[in-house]
Amino acid sequence: VAAMPLGAMAQAYPTKPITVIVPFAAGGPTDALARVLTARMGEALGQTMIVENVGGAGGTIGVNKAAKATPDGYTILFTHMGTLAVNIALYKTLPYDSQKDLEPVGLGGTNPMVLVTKKDLPAKDFKEFEAYVKANQKKAQYGMAGIGAASHLGGLMLNSMMKVDVLEIPYKGTGPALNDLVSGQFDYMVDQAVNVLPQIKAGTIKALGVSTLKRLPQLPDVPTVDEAGLKGYEVTIWNGFFVAKNTPKNVIDTLNKALVTALGDEKVRARLIEQAVDLPDPKDATPAALGAQLKASIDKWVPAIKAAGVQPQ
């Protein structure tokens, strides 16, 4: 290998396992999606893809690690729009620039969110929930995966539209947060459906609203938050693969091709669609489309969060 010219080395990619940084705890939505997609992508690449969970600080620690990694395609990133777009409005300084320090590879799936509460919260529907939170301000607690997390965005838009001030309980991911919601340690959270559907079905938590403007086929009896009372409440979360800036183009193309293969796999599609993940048509999962998606999310959410009156910290 030492004698190989650089170009030939790049063409040989991948010749060893690929680390995929997920900037949240294991067992949560980002992790779940990453594991399903990378298992199939690894098959297509003929190499193992190893998920490394680097949680903390709303995903910024893991994203920064991936952004600063050697740009050779052996340490890549799977993350969501919270860590790349939403948190621009929520942190005074970020250790990375999501558009300058990373290159998009392709979209991995978009998730609806669900407002879920602990089982014994005294509210059987959204109206009662809203009344409960209003009556228990500064005492009610909502769980989230850190500043700029998807669950933070879902929660802060909800709280700002309900005009309530509640306590934030930060976790390294909504996987561990969900465990605590099930055991009743806090009152509610807004989390991606893929993470909470099994517990909703098991009856260990309650679902009071979905974050899309249409109901979910998986939860036909759960109203949208919009129809239940907060007109205009709508939050969906896209996830995607990124690499450090200066990663060779052929490496990005190879990773993208593997992603397109995974997205076109009937088993992968069936499994994720059942979990309410909205998958892109494989032909639309281009690096350029993800770059455009990132820009659109920055343009949408940065002013929306400012308008909601949330101050960066």
**Sites of contact with ligand MLT (CB under 6 A):** 24-25, 28-31, 82, 145, 149-151, 173-175, 191-192
Q: Closest separation between CB of residue 30 and ligand MLT, Å?
A: 3
Q: Are 243 and 73 in contact (CB under 8 A)?
A: yes
The smaller minimum CB distance to ligand MLT, of residues 195 and 247, is found at 195
The smaller minimum CB distance to ligand MLT, of residues 82 and 248, is found at 82
In terms of phi and psi (left: phi > 0; alpha: psi -120 to 50; beta: otherwise), the region of 138 is left
Q: Closest separation between CB of residue 48 and ligand MLT, Å?
A: 22
Q: Closest separation between CB of residue 151 and ligand MLT, Å?
A: 3
The smaller minimum CB distance to ligand MLT, of residues 191 and 265, is found at 191
The smaller minimum CB distance to ligand MLT, of residues 113 and 252, is found at 113
- How far apart are alpha carbons 42 and 38 in whole angstroms? 6
The smaller minimum CB distance to ligand MLT, of residues 114 and 149, is found at 149
Half-sphere exposure of 202 (CA within 13 A, CB side): 9
Q: Closest separation between CB of residue 57 and ligand MLT, Å?
A: 12
- One-letter amino acid identity for 80? H
Q: Closest separation between CB of residue 178 and ligand MLT, Å?
A: 9
The kind and range of the H/E element at 253 are helix 249-263
Q: Closest separation between CB of residue 25 and ligand MLT, Å?
A: 6
Q: For residue 237, what are the contacts with CB-CB under 8 A and spacing of at least 6?
A: 29, 80, 81, 82, 110, 111, 113, 150, 153, 192
Q: For residue 269, what are the contacts with CB-CB under 8 A and spacing of at least 6?
A: 263, 279
The smaller minimum CB distance to ligand MLT, of residues 192 and 224, is found at 192
Please give the residue whose beta carbon sits closest to ligand MLT in the complex. 28
- How far apart are alpha carbons 243 and 76 in whole angstroms? 5
Q: Closest separation between CB of residue 191 and ligand MLT, Å?
A: 6
- The CA-atom distances, in angstroms, between 114 and each of 67, 135, 215, 237, 313 are 30, 22, 10, 11, 26
CA 49 to chain CA mean position, Å:
19
The smaller minimum CB distance to ligand MLT, of residues 45 and 85, is found at 85
